[in-house]
């Protein structure tokens, strides 16, 4: 499918880009569907404690043993039949007490919360991906704007070099050097435009649309005072809770189960010769021997608990490291940006002075060319450092669990 540039001139803000993930990105849609699936599974488990009703309609041809039910008549055969029977009745059963099923219901609800926490994890991961691509696209746009300004300066210097060469105060070498610098700047501008176009397609893909934004707005990030629990840890907490309940459910299979049942219907040789009969009763079930099935299910559930505890420790260590690294990266990015601003200002002044000296015949074109190159490098570094600060702010917010709240 062809990726289209959005026709609207209204700039896309970072907050809007992140908000669109919820409705457009396939990964968030998949996460939502997984939540709905877990909710349906939880309701299915819960239905085990609801009344169950069935309708049975049966016809058969059978024989029967009267002696087996205590009816013995001298000279009368014990086996009677065959004869036809017809049986139609609704049957209702109700679980009265099943502690294992209660634990399974709570475990299913915990698994639903696992899916909800995983949905938030997916959303936060996509948010930081969109933020990164958004800032990189803005950086490429800034490089284009800076290159356009340098191109105008280079074109002016080429014009001056040609004028000086025409009146005999300059040389063809000066013109060639000025033209070389102009063409180098055009290459930089072309590469920046290419990067911006590619990054726009990647940004649109991350959002989940085929409309690449034409214009972006400079974002800002709020300072996060208190970190929140990361969604990855919430996932593991709910998984641990579900695993504990699954262990409990496996263990409670050893406990007695009580259920009630009842039916009413018609029984006879056929529908026209049937009479009403009913059954009402209760059952008390105690498992005596299951081939060690229950014991093995308990052992497997306990192993899952241990695995989750290991994952919790690993994840907590990773998050602690991420937060420390994010703080250090943010501090370094801010220091580097301040230095790059000073360097870019100094390079700009150097270029202006070199240009004035060249115009006055006090410097050669080499000095101007060197100053142009130094200014291009320092300007590119300033732009890169500026967006590295914003990206470091976003990463710090992500590490603290507040990426969505930090975007303004």
DSSP 38: H
Give CA angle at 224 (218, 227), nearest 5°.
135
Euclidean distance between CA atoms 13 and 343, whole angstroms: 30
**In the prediction, which pLDDT does 9 show?**
56
**In the prediction, which pLDDT does 236 show?**
93
pTM here is 0.81
Those residues with Cβ within 8 angstroms of residue 29's Cβ, 6 or more apart along the chain or in another chain: none
Euclidean distance between CA atoms 28 and 124, whole angstroms: 10
Q: Is 167 helix (H, G, I), strand (E, B) or coil?
A: helix
339-343: long-range contacts at Cβ-Cβ below 8 A with a sequence spacing of 24 or more?
339/385, 340/378, 340/381, 340/382, 340/384, 340/385, 340/386, 341/382, 341/385, 343/378, 343/381, 343/382
Lookup: tokens for 5: 């540039």
**In the prediction, which pLDDT does 235 show?**
93
22 forms bridges with which residues in the sheet? none
Give CA angle at 114 (109, 117), nearest 5°.
130
Could you read off the pLDDT of 116-170 as tens digits, one per residue? 999 999 999 999 999 999 999 999 999 999 999 889 888 988 898 888 888 877 7
DSSP 47: G
CATH class entry, domain 4-51+97-254+293-406: mainly alpha
**In the prediction, which pLDDT does 244 show?**
94
Could you read off the pLDDT of 85-100 as tens digits, one per residue? 888 999 999 999 999 9
Residue ranges of the chain with pLDDT lower than 50?
1-8
Radius of gyration of the chain, Cα coordinates, nearest whole angstrom = 39
155 forms bridges with which residues in the sheet? none
**In the prediction, which pLDDT does 225 show?**
65
SS3 track for 212-274? ECCCECCCCECCCCCCCCCHHHHHHHHHHHHHHHHHHHHHHHHCCEEEEEEEEEEEECCHHHE
Dihedral sign, Cα of residue 335, residue 339, residue 342, residue 348:
negative
Cis, peptide link before residue 82, omega less than 30° from 0: yes
Sequence spans of domains, the chain: 4-51+97-254+293-406
Strands 4-5 and 211-212: parallel
């Amino acid at each position: 499918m062809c990726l289209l540039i959005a026709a609207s001139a209204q700039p896309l803000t970072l907050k809007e880009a992140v908000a669109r993930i919820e409705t457009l990105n396939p990964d968030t849609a998949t996460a939502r569907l997984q939540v709905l699936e877990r909710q349906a599974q939880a309701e299915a488990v819960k239905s085990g404690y609801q009344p169950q009703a069935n309708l049975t309609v049966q016809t058969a041809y059978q024989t029967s043993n009267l002696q087996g039910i205590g009816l013995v008549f001298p000279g009368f055969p014990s086996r009677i039949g065959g004869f036809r029977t017809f049986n139609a009745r609704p049957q209702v059963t109700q679980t009265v007490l099943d502690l294992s099923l209660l634990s399974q219901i709570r475990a299913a609800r915990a698994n639903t919360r696992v899916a909800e926490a995983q949905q938030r994890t997916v959303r936060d991961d996509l948010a930081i991906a969109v933020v990164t691509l958004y800032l990189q696209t803005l950086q490429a746009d800034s490089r284009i704007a800076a290159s356009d300004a340098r191109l105008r300066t280079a074109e002016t210097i080429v014009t001056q070099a040609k004028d000086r060469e025409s009146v005999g105060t300059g040389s063809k070498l000066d013109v060639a050097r000025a033209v070389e610098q102009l063409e180098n700047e055009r290459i930089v501008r072309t590469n920046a435009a290419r990067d911006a176009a590619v990054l726009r397609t990647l940004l649109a893909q991350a959002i989940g649309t085929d409309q690449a934004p034409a214009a972006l707005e400079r974002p800002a990030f709020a300072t996060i005072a208190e970190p929140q629990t990361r969604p990855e840890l919430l996932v593991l907490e709910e998984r641990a809770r579900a695993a504990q309940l699954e262990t409990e459910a496996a263990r409670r299979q050893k406990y007695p189960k009580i259920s009630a049942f009842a039916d009413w219907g018609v029984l006879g040789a056929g529908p026209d010769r049937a009479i009403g009969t009913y059954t009402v009763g209760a059952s008390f079930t105690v498992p005596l021997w299951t081939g060690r099935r229950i014991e093995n299910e308990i052992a497997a559930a306990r192993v899952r608990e241990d695995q989750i505890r290991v994952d919790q420790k690993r994840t907590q260590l990773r998050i602690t490291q991420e937060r420390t690294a994010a703080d250090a990266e943010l501090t370094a990015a801010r220091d580097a940006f301040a230095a790059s601003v000073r360097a870019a200002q100094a390079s700009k002044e150097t270029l202006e002075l070199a240009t004035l000296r060249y115009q006055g015949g006090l410097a050669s074109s080499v000095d101007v060319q060197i100053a142009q190159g130094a200014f291009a490098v320092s300007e590119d570094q300033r732009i890169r450092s500026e967006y590295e600060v914003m990206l470091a702010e976003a990463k710090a917010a992500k590490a603290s669990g507040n990426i969505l709240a930090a975007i303004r």
